[in-house]
């Protein structure tokens, strides 16, 4: 019996410079073949049948509904609803950009300045001290904004990056976000004490999908307070691939209500990563109230540039050295 899967193998040039993916029909004994073990020379193997498929070029279009102001009425309605649900009568004051529609102004980001927006990331469970050391060396060389690692590597990163402008970010309650709010806050406090300058924590998606809005708000309340008191940047990961448009709107509103610094698309460990559609919604909701971080699936320079030029402030990626020119 044969099984079908689609795997991204590498960014290679196809017709007219388009990128390409490979679709494989794999026999069971190679179905779990690791991505980095597949090479062009192995594509003739009798274990697989290969189809060369040109991908659709990525485009963060200015005609997306959020960029055109078409979501503003829905966003205002959700703000009014959550204001009542959360007993936050002045919630709308945090969204002045929604009082009248303004076209989204493209950011002036060049290839040479991408690195300043990159969180250079290593979150694999197999990460070693040697790999994290290389990550920090690359961050110094490319002058990335941060390195983003698991909390156990925070002290090592602080030591290796001492004297540089590269900041140390770590994930908290990653990748599921299911711990209690107070546990998240205690974890963040310990990470900060160990040297973390930025915290990327994960929303409890189930609370939002169950429409338990007060609990979803409280999910971030204590960790936001811990980070604010210590002057540490807080990013909340929404896992947008699991949410409807309305749920993305609600999550962003709850983030702004908690005065977080960033709303972030994805962990990179769920069913999908960032999409132009999700980022468009996030940008439309938060305006200038907080920033947007795009992560999950950003592997090339054109994709990173389009997200940044559309208004995102950070890119989380493990492909920073491929994206940024030296």
Report, as residue numbers or ranges, the catalytic residues. Answer: 200, 264, 293
| Distances 123 to 96, 152, 191 between C-alpha atoms, Å | 36, 11, 16
CA–CA distance, 32 with 231 (Å, rounded to integer):
44
Pairing relationship of beta strands 146-149 and 48-54 according to DSSP bridges? unpaired
Torsion of CA 278, 205, 4, 16, to 10 degrees: 20
Rounded Cα distance, 159 and 136, in Å: 10
List C-alpha distances in Å: 87 to 81, 124, 194, 258. 10, 40, 36, 13
C-alpha 178 chain-centroid distance = 18
């Amino acid at each position: 019996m044969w099984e079908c899967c689609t795997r991204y193998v590498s960014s290679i040039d196809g017709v007219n410079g388009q990128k390409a993916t490979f679709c494989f029909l794999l026999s069971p004994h190679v179905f779990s073949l690791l991505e980095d073990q597949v090479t062009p020379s192995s594509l003739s193997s009798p274990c697989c049948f290969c189809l060369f498929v040109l991908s659709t070029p990525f485009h963060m279009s200015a005609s997306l509904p959020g960029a055109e102001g078409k979501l503003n009425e829905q966003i205002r309605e959700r703000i009014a609803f959550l204001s009542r649900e959360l007993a936050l009568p002045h919630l709308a004051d945090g969204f002045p950009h929604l009082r009248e529609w303004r076209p989204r102004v493209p950011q002036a980001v060049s290839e040479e300045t991408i690195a300043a927006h990159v969180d250079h990331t290593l979150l694999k469970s197999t990460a070693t001290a040697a790999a994290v050391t290389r990550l920090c060396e690359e961050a110094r060389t490319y002058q990335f904004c941060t390195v983003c690692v698991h909390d156990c590597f925070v002290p090592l990163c602080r030591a290796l990056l001492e004297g540089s402008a590269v900041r140390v970010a770590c994930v908290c309650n990653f990748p599921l976000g299911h711990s209690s709010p107070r546990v998240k806050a205690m974890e963040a406090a310990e990470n900060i004490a160990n040297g973390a300058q930025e915290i990327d924590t994960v929303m409890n998606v189930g609370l939002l999908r169950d429409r338990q809005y007060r609990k979803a708000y409280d999910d971030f309340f204590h960790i936001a307070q811990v980070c604010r008191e210590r002057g540490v940047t807080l990013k909340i990961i929404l896992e947008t691939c699991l949410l409807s448009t309305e749920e993305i709107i609600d999550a962003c509103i709850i983030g702004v209500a908690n005065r977080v610094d960033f709303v972030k698309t994805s962990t990179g460990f769920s069913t999908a990563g960032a999409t132009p559609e999700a980022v468009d919604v996030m940008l439309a909701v938060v305006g200038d109230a907080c920033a947007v971080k795009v992560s999950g699936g950003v592997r090339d320079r054109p994709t990173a540039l389009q997200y940044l030029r559309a208004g995102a402030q950070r890119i989380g990626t493990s492909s920073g050295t491929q994206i940024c020119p030296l």
